[in-house]
Amino acid sequence: MNALFVLCSPECFLTLSALFLLLWQAIAKPNYKSVGILVLASYLISGVLLLPFVDNQGIYWNGLYVWDKMAVLWKVFFLITGFLVTYLSLESNSLITKGRAEFYTLPLLTTAGMALLASVRDFILLFVGLEIVTVSFYILVAFQKEFPSALEAGVKYLVIGALASSFLVMGIAFVFGITGSTQFDEVARFAQNNPVSTPLVLGLIFVLVGLGFKASAVPFHVWTPDVYQGASTPITSYLAVGSKAAGFVVLLRVLNLPFYDQSFQKHWIPLIVLMALLSVILGNLAAIPQRNIKRMLGYSSISHGGFLLMGLSAHNTIGCAAVIYYFFAYLVAIFAAFLVVILLEKNQPSGISIKDFNGLYQKNGLLAWSMAFAMISLAGLPPLMGFFGKLMVFLAAWESGQHLLVIVGALCAAAGLYYYIGVVRAMFWAEPETVQRIVLSPATKVLLWILSIGSILLGFYAEPVIKLVGAVLS
Partner 1 sequence: MQIGLTHYLTASGILFAIGLAGIILRRDMIIIYMCLEIMLNAANLALVAFSRYNSNLSGQVLVFFVITVAAAEVAVGLALIVALFRVKHSTKAEDITLLKF
From the list 133-141, 355-363, 364-372, 380-388, the region that binds partner 1 by CB under 8 A is: 133-141
Beta bridge partners of 26: none
Footprint (CB under 8 A) of partner 1, residues 291-330: 295
* Rounded Cα–Cα distance for residues 13 and 269 (Å): 38
Tell me how many degrees the CA angle 275-280-281 measures, rounded to the nearest 5: 100
From the list 160-168, 269-277, 303-311, 456-464, the region that binds partner 1 by CB under 8 A is: 160-168
**Min CB(207)–partner 1 separation in Å:** 12
3-state helix, strand, coil in the chain (%, to 5): 80, 0, 20
DSSP string for 49-116: HHGGGTT--EEETTTTEEE-HHHHHHHHHHHHHHHHHHHHHHHTTTT--S-HHHHHHHHHHHHHHHHH
**Min CB(153)–partner 1 separation in Å:** 6
Q: Exactly one of 128, 278, 410, 415 binds partner 1 (CB under 8 A); which one? A: 128
Q: Identify which of residues 181 and 362 has a Cβ nearer to partner 1 in the complex.
A: 181
**Min CB(427)–partner 1 separation in Å:** 25
From the list 92-100, 127-135, 302-310, 380-388, the region that binds partner 1 by CB under 8 A is: 127-135
Residues 6+ apart with CB under 8 A from 262: none
353: DSSP letter: B
Q: Exactly one of 69, 156, 189, 425 binds partner 1 (CB under 8 A); which one? A: 156
Q: Exactly one of 113, 154, 242, 459 binds partner 1 (CB under 8 A); which one? A: 154
* Rounded Cα–Cα distance for residues 292 and 51 (Å): 41
Q: Identify which of residues 38 and 178 has a Cβ nearer to partner 1 in the complex.
A: 178
The site that binds partner 1 (CB under 8 A) totals a number of residues, namely 41
Footprint (CB under 8 A) of partner 1, residues 179-198: 180-182
Q: Exactly one of 32, 74, 123, 259 binds partner 1 (CB under 8 A); which one? A: 123
The 3-state DSSP class for residue 183 equals strand
- Nearest-CA neighbor of 459 among 395, 378, 397? 378
The CA–CA distances, whole Å, from 387 to 325, 369, 381, 391, 394 equal 11, 18, 5, 6, 11
Tell me how many degrees the CA angle 388-390-391 measures, rounded to the nearest 5: 60
Q: Exactly one of 34, 94, 97, 166 binds partner 1 (CB under 8 A); which one? A: 166
Q: Exactly one of 20, 53, 138, 428 binds partner 1 (CB under 8 A); which one? A: 138
What is the number of other CB atoms lying within 10 angstroms of the CB of residue 69? 17
Q: Exactly one of 142, 254, 281, 308 binds partner 1 (CB under 8 A); which one? A: 142
Residues 6+ apart with CB under 8 A from 337: 297, 371, 374, 375, 378
**Min CB(66)–partner 1 separation in Å:** 17
Footprint (CB under 8 A) of partner 1, residues 197-226: 225-226
Per CB under 8 A, residues contacting partner 1 are: 123-124, 127-128, 131, 135, 138-139, 142, 145-146, 148-149, 151-156, 158-159, 162-163, 165-166, 169-170, 172-174, 176-177, 180-182, 225-226, 229-230, 286, 295
